[in-house]
Structure 1
Amino acid sequence: MAGKAKAMSQIKQLLRLHKQGDSIKSMARNLGISRNTVKSYLTKLATGKLPVAELLALEDPVLKSRFHAGNPAYKDPRFEHLSSNLDYFRKELALVGVTKKLLWEEYIQVYSDGYGYSQFCFHLQQQLLARKL
């Protein structure tokens, strides 16, 4: 599992095979993944609190968060603060004469431990693009 995360369809299939009582070797062969990867997912499954049937009923993004921690940058308090003010930033950017630089200066006055200008612009742009979709 040091490589890429497996597709949710593979993880769900692994859960189904585990629920049926298949062996690790059999699951690995059927899914075309290594036995160590299967063991790793089963270890994560054992540490979870939900039974397999409930995990299979979860939406893909929720299931993915159960098995993959995600990017730690998005758990940063600075990111949470920036995200909570996104609607304000979007409205302000629509006004004439308002720049990202002005918004960043205002952001730093309110949240002195916030992102530097380049990271502020990067995360702001990513959030604005994500909200458009």
Structure 2
Amino acid sequence: MAGKPKRMSQVKQILRMHKQGKGIKTIARTLSISKNTVKGYIKKARAGDLSIEALLAMEDPVLEGKIWPGNPAYKDERYEHLKTQLEYYSKELKKVGVTRQLLWEEYKTGNLHPYSYGQFCWHLQQYLRSGKPSMVL
């Protein structure tokens, strides 16, 4: 599953065949995908609190949200606090003499459990990128 995520229709086929009692090798051969990919999706389906029948009944976008819940870094309490400050930090960075190191020091003083410098810079960079979308024409 390290490659691209499979389409939800294909994930549903994996779950349907698994529910029918087919083996992992059979599923992988039939759908022309790796055995490890099949194992991974079955493991993700079992790890959740919903049954396979409930997962199969879901619409594709909802199922995708269950299988790929997103980056846990954005669910952290620390991120919620940092998110409110990111616009301020991006404006400050435009000023002469203001560095990310200075902003991180300022951020650190106001928090009990701050992010490390690397994590702070990563979140700030993600925020700055989201403000300037680009597209190849």
CA contact (8 A) 2:14 2:38 kept: no
Higher percent of residues as helix: 1
Identity among equivalent pairs (%): 40
Change in 2 beyond 3 A, CA 1:14/1:120: closer
2:33 corresponds to which residue? 32
1:99 corresponds to which residue? 99
In structure 1, how many angstroms separate the alpha carbons of the residues matched to 2:14 and 2:79? 38
* TM-score (ref. length: structure 2): 0.63
Change in 2 beyond 3 A, CA 1:12/1:81: farther
Q: Which runs of 4+ in 1 moved over 4 A?
A: 68-75
2:114 corresponds to which residue? 114
CA contact (8 A) 1:5 1:68 kept: no
In structure 1, how many angstroms separate the alpha carbons of the residues matched to 2:14 and 2:113? 48
1:14 corresponds to which residue? 11
* TM-score (ref. length: structure 1): 0.65
In structure 2, how many angstroms separate the alpha carbons of the residues matched to 1:130 and 1:13? 31
- Paired amino acid for 1:86: L
In structure 1, how many angstroms separate the alpha carbons of the residues matched to 2:38 and 2:129? 35
The alignment status of 1:78 with 2:56, answered yes or no, reads no
- The structural deviation recorded for 1:110 is 1.2
Q: In structure 1, the residue corresponding to 2:91 is in which secondary structure?
A: helix
- The structural deviation recorded for 1:79 is 3.3
Q: Provide Cα deviations, 1:35-89, integer angstroms capped at 9, x if missing partner.
A: x5424422432434243131x4216xx71x5234655544443333323322222
In structure 1, how many angstroms separate the alpha carbons of the residues matched to 2:118 and 2:10? 42
1:51 corresponds to which residue? 55
CA RMSD after TM alignment = 3.3
- Highest RCO, 1 vs 2 (Cα 8 Å, sep ≥ 6): 1
Structure 2 runs not aligned, ≥5 long: none
